[in-house]
Chain A
């Protein structure tokens, strides 16, 4: 997986094409899932900061999708008073973040940015662009790879001990949840947790678990 910088040009090219295709798009950047800029055409916006914040927002989005059983991450759209910020999945290790004016055609933005996300995923996935840092959590490893998530895991791992799932689904008592150690990354914690009755209720029987955090799903859409 030797970095081949030439693909960075292709990546940048993809971002420029996106800008050309969508009117009122003010900037875009491709970033790794942990917040490092891969390529940017951000039009004056501070790319590093935006990429880092994208990663933070992505972390919350992944958890929210997981907890609500919404499956893997596809996109995140923020509408501010003076513009849009949208983040699209681009393979398992990267995202595409797009900035647009408030009058942008969001329908068109979705169509074009989803396609661009697929192509960026191809560029990144073939190892042409250095895969910086950690990938997005893979199925079954969600808890191990992201620091905010283990809090939820002890809660579910505790299930079988806690009198057959009589503990309310919402918010475990911090005093009981705290002593449970976070599972080691990549361990078999997830399969162990699954027999818990509550796990099924909360995550739709592990269906979300297998898809959560696999933005590589993106290509399926087109």
Chain B
């Protein structure tokens, strides 16, 4: 098991990682952030991606889908943004957010590593 800080540090070791955050999507506030650049304010990303997650949850409710979101991938011209919802009972309402440089990242590997980090994370 790893704590928030260790998990975020590990997320930054993923190839191409630019920044990562652990976000509480009931409040839109980040529990922890790491990395980021002048152009990638992770607190803004936390608040904005909270809206993304909430919108998807609401849409699934409207569609009558009795499913859980495992992850969300957003592909930009030069970046990948991965959102992975935490599934353990105690960590409900949180997601991991990872921004990757598209040129340096291996998406399949990044997704796999982020899943492992999520499984080990204990808040």
Contacts and interface: CB of A to CB of B under 8 A. Distances in A.
Of B23, B30, B51, chain A has the most CB atoms within 10 Å of the CB of B51
Interface stretch (B3-11, B39-47, B76-84): B39-47
A178 interface: no
B27 interface: yes
Nearest to B30: A107
Contacts of B48: 108
B44 A105 contact: no
Nearest to A105: B28
Interface string B80-96: 00000000000000000
A108 B26 CA distance: 12
A177 interface: no
Interface in A183-221: none
Contacts, number: 32
Among B30, B43, B47, chain A packs the most CB atoms within 10 A around the CB of B47
Interface residues on A, range: under 10
A106 interface: yes
Contacts of A103: 26
A45 interface: no
Where chain B touches its partner, the secondary structure class is helix
A23 B58 CA distance: 14
Contacts of A23: 51
Interface in A160-189: none
Contact of A111 (B23, B26, B43, B54): B43
A166 B44 CA distance: 48
Nearest to B45: A107
B43 A105 contact: no
Contacts of B50: 105, 107-108
A111 B46 CA distance: 11
Contacts of A111: 43-44, 47
Contacts of B27: 105-107
B29 interface: yes
Contacts of B51: 23, 105, 108
Nearest to B23: A107
A105 B44 CA distance: 11
Interface string A84-114: 0000000000000000000101111111000
B97 to A, nearest CB: 12
6 contacts: A105-B27, A107-B46, A107-B47, A108-B28, A108-B51, A110-B47
Interface of B: 23, 26-30, 43-44, 46-48, 50-51, 54
Q: Which 10 A-B pairs have the closest CB atoms?
A: A107-B28, A107-B47, A105-B28, A108-B47, A106-B27, A107-B29, A105-B50, A107-B46, A106-B28, A108-B28
